[in-house]
Structure 1
Amino acid sequence: MKKTNANQRQAAILELLSKNGAMKTTDLAEHFQVSRETMRLDLLELTNQGLVKKWFGGVICTPPETPDSPGIIETTVIDERMTRMPEEKTSICRKALELIPEHATIFLDCGSTNLYLAQQLRSLSGYTIISTSLQIINTLCGSANKLIICGGVIDTSILSVCGTPALDFLRQLRTDAAIFGSSGFKANSGPTGLASDYSSIKKIALQNTLTSIVLADHTKATYSSPVQFADWSEIDYLVTDPAMDPQALERLGDHTKVIFA
């Protein structure tokens, strides 16, 4: 990689985080071929500017604020994720539906790929869909499916419910399939999420399902996020697109069944 000065590097860090959501400090240092101390100083400067915040051994971008709604993520930020790799995500979701029995009870995780799946489920009927995601429930309103939303505290960074009430509610439920997204798994032994509180939701949903499925396009194998919510051996299926790195596929295939969309 071409040598960069601190200003160039910090701008590039923000660009990476906007794409990946979160990254570990060690991965950023490796990416930019600098020492961990240099990267720590870069991240400290960005933190002081309010552009990033620390997150479980790594950093995430600070959500943009509006004058009228400080601290609330603008819908355009979340909608932007829906514009990434739409064809791949659509194909992944279609393939995932083949793994789910008709009229099944489903836990549907938050995230852009699962929102694509919700759009496809909207035209179907007879399913019972459990979710903590406000966007997913909103997408499915008006469909001929039974919808169950967990109660609790809303995490505005992901527009999803989390916290003890949601966990207690989910512990009572059993599902035919739990469908998860992932925030990257390059340096992990399983799929990850960004928020520790919400990862607890994923773990309970995983414990209480017959079939566990992760939906992830090939780019998720190129970066890591802070909080791992499962080992690949606990996941029945990873549904992805054929462009995933062969070395990553070989590693994943030793622990879970990989299905191409």
Structure 2
Amino acid sequence: MGKIIAAERQKEILKLLHDNGSVKIGQLADYFEVSRETIRRDLSYLTEIGAAQRSHGGATSIYEFGNIPIETRINKDADIKTKLCEKALEFIPQTGVIYLDSGSTIVHMAQLLAQRAGCTIVTSSLSAANVLLNSDNTTIITGGQLNPGNMSIEGFQTTSFINTLKVAVSFLGTNGFEQHKGPAVSDFTDAHTKQAILPNAKINVVISDSSKASTSALVQYASWRDIDYFITDSNLPKPMYDMISEMTKVILVDVNS
């Protein structure tokens, strides 16, 4: 991101806080291409005016969005997420390995796969693995460090393991993509995990409801050109549809009927 004045940067920090719940000083410094000390001054100012709360290494939203458990996020717009994942089932191969990303929408994909048998599923999501626990599928969990906020596994061990894989299809999520030219997430570690699977999957599918089009997550993990299919609902704004369609195949699912 090019250099911007302090007021504009602080406004953008507040938007990132609203969308993601929390921010880290190092991530913001990289994102805005400024020093950590500059970000510390921004966060101190935002705290002084009551717009943010300081935390260890960064700040959190005064609305505590980041503390919403994944179980709550899974239940939000559950019908829409299920319909999107039902469409995504069309990409499940007769044979081959499936990769499931972390995130609330992908848990709905796991719920549908749990009703099937004979699949080999690799996942970095403990929530998805728990759904698949008693299914007639083979479930493989990536190693790594637990992220309790997202109930996912991440870090060097995770990416190292993923780099040894070849899968038929990966199903990926996003925290938002406004202001980006591809799907984005809230932190760099999650982005690294997603980036690791992209070259190792024959087909990459992003599943997301259209509300993420108006949410700006912190870091883009891929260009839409790196994604083979984007499955979303028919409420996606037309300008966003037109832009993304130039780079990948967008599949709109009617969720209003």
TM-score bracket for the superposition, by shorter chain length: 0.7 to 0.9
1:62 & 1:161 partners in 2: Cα distance?
27
Counterpart for residue 206 of structure 1: 198
1:150 & 1:211 partners in 2: Cα distance?
19
What is the deviation of 1:229? 0.8
The superposition leaves residues 158-194 of structure 1 with CA deviations (integer Å, 9 ceiling, x where unpaired) of 1111111111111111000011000100100110111
Structure 2 vs 1, CA of residues 154 and 251 (structure 1 numbering), >3 Å: closer, same or farther?
same
1:220 and 2:212 aligned: yes
Which amino acid in structure 2 is aligned with residue 21 of structure 1? N
Which amino acid in structure 2 is aligned with residue 92 of structure 1? L
Structure 2 vs 1, CA of residues 194 and 48 (structure 1 numbering), >3 Å: closer, same or farther?
closer
Is the contact made by 1:103 and 1:125 (CA closer than 8 Å) also made in structure 2?
A: no
Structure 2 vs 1, CA of residues 227 and 144 (structure 1 numbering), >3 Å: closer, same or farther?
same
Give aligned-pair identity as a percent. 29
Gaps of 5+ in 1: 1-9, 26-36, 65-72
What secondary structure does 1:113 align onto? Answer: helix
What secondary structure does 1:182 align onto? Answer: coil
How many equivalent residue pairs?
A: 224
Matches within 5 A, 1:109-258: 109-258=101-250
1:41 and 2:45 aligned: yes
Which aligned runs of 4 or more in structure 1 are off by greater than 2 angstroms? Answer: 20-25, 37-54, 59-64
* Greater mean deviation of Cα atoms: 169-178 or 194-203: 194-203
What is the deviation of 1:103? 3.5
The superposition leaves residues 21-77 of structure 1 with CA deviations (integer Å, 9 ceiling, x where unpaired) of 35999xxxxxxxxxxx999833565587447974xxxx654997xxxxxxxx97x62
Which amino acid in structure 1 is aligned with residue 127 of structure 2? Q
Match of 2:73 among 81, 86, 90: 81
What secondary structure does 2:195 align onto? Answer: helix
Compute the TM-score of the two structures, normalised by the length of structure 1. 0.76
What secondary structure does 1:189 align onto? Answer: coil
What is the deviation of 1:90? 0.8
Is the contact made by 2:21 and 2:63 (CA closer than 8 Å) also made in structure 1?
A: no
Which amino acid in structure 2 is aligned with residue 248 of structure 1? M
Which amino acid in structure 2 is aligned with residue 104 of structure 1? G
Which amino acid in structure 1 is aligned with residue 45 of structure 2? L
2:22 & 2:213 partners in 1: Cα distance?
13
Is the contact made by 2:70 and 2:151 (CA closer than 8 Å) also made in structure 1?
A: no
What is the deviation of 1:201? 1.0
Structure 2 vs 1, CA of residues 193 and 43 (structure 1 numbering), >3 Å: closer, same or farther?
farther
* Greater mean deviation of Cα atoms: 39-48 or 109-118: 39-48
What secondary structure does 2:251 align onto? Answer: strand
Structure 2 vs 1, CA of residues 116 and 17 (structure 1 numbering), >3 Å: closer, same or farther?
farther
Structure 2 vs 1, CA of residues 104 and 61 (structure 1 numbering), >3 Å: closer, same or farther?
farther
1:136 & 1:213 partners in 2: Cα distance?
17
CA RMSD, 1 decimal: 3.0
Is the contact made by 1:23 and 1:226 (CA closer than 8 Å) also made in structure 2?
A: no
